[in-house]
Amino acid sequence: MPRIRSESLWGYIFISPWLIGFLGLIAGPMLASLYLSLTNYDLKHADFVGAANYQRLYADPLFWKALINTVLYTALAVPLGLTGSLLLAVLLNQELRLKGVWRACFYIPTLVPAVAASFLWGYVYNREYGLLNQVIGAAGIPKQGWLETTHWALPALVMMSLWTIGGGRMIIFLAGLQNIPTSLYEAAAIDGAGRWRQFWHVTLPMLSPVIFFNMILGAIGAFQVFTQAFLITKGGPDDATLFYALYLFRMAFEQFKFGYASALAWVLFVILAGLTALQFYLARHWVHYEGERK
């Protein structure tokens, strides 16, 4: 018994830095924000109002606008990003000359800080001297206000998100592709399956856990999109790019309505938790784990 207690004590000592960090930087602030969401806190006063902040959300048109914009962005950016990363990984998994150099070239753009990348894309989308308008202008197409019209602003930010398809998702897909046994492809080829059928019936099922993992992280990240809209569009035009995180930021650090902002944060937490739970439920019908019996 003394030995077991000693081992337990040393175990707690070794994990104490993580425990202190978790309690002080994660659990503590979360509990504090939960309390603040039940108050009318503006840096001066913290009057307890119960569920009034949550009830106010239903009557707030900007809340629904921000939520709808974020859902649309997620529905477009996540599938496009996953598809682009997967296809890029399949391409870079082939026997190519200078394969490592090509992989590095596609990964390097993700090392550019988000702020710098946002300003770069702001230049690309500029109506007067932007690179994109120069290209389409050479083809005789009129210049477009990519970030100045309500029907182009959101798709423009979605396309901007594809800047990182060669990043971490691609690396994870590459690792998954290299773990697929070659014997499966050989067996499929013997059965007469071509490249497309091998990809559809071997590659995708064997990669389904990796796709599932990237899908969850992608959805969580897309729901928290902030930098591009904050730096380039400021949520405009006409709130077309007012995303949830940007609206939360405005409430907290521009209007100093910390109680209402905390309520927004907890609603976002519940949405993400529900979305993740739904994905785990649906995963039982399409995610295949090697060695699993159904």
| Digit-coded pLDDT (tens) for 199-209 | 999 999 999 99
CB 242 within 8 A of CB 69: yes
Q: Which residue has the tokens 């048109």?
A: 61
Written as one letter, the residue type at 220 is I
Count how many residues are written for the chain: 294
The token duo for 185 is: 């492809």
Query: Averaged over 257-275, what is the pLDDT?
Result: 95
Number of domains in the chain: 1
Q: Assign residue 106 the CATH number of its domain.
A: 1.10.3720.10
Q: Judge whether 25 lies within some domain.
A: no
Provide the 10 A C-beta neighbour count for residue 163. 18
SS3 call for 291 = coil
Report pLDDT digits (tens) over 25-46.
999 999 999 999 999 987 777 8
The per-residue pLDDT of the chain, averaged, comes to: 90
What domain range is 84 assigned to? 54-283
Helices 204-223 & 168-178 angle (0-180, nearest 10): 160
Backbone torsion region of residue 225, taken as left when φ is above 0, otherwise alpha when ψ lies between -120 and 50, otherwise beta: beta
CB 172 within 8 A of CB 214: yes
Tell me the average pLDDT across 265-272: 96
CB atoms near residue 214 (< 10 Å): 22
pLDDT at 72: 97
Structure tokens at 79: 């599938």
In a domain, 5, yes or no: no
pTM: 0.91
**Residue 171: inside a domain:** yes
Establish if 31 belongs to a structural domain. no
Instruction: Check residue 293 and give its pLDDT.
Output: 55
Any domain includes 207? yes
The enclosing H or E element of 288 equals: none
pLDDT at 292: 62
34 falls within a domain: no
Q: What is residue 121's predicted lDDT score, i.e. its pLDDT?
A: 92
Give domain status of residue 112, yes or no. Answer: yes
Question: Number of C-alpha atoms within 13 angstroms, CB side, residue 185?
Answer: 12
Neighbouring C-beta atoms of residue 169, cutoff 10 Å: 25
Cβ neighbourhood burial of 76 (10 Å; 0-12, 13-18, 19+): middle
CA distance 75 to 278: 15
Amino acid code (one letter) for 172 = I
- In a domain, residue 240? The reply is yes
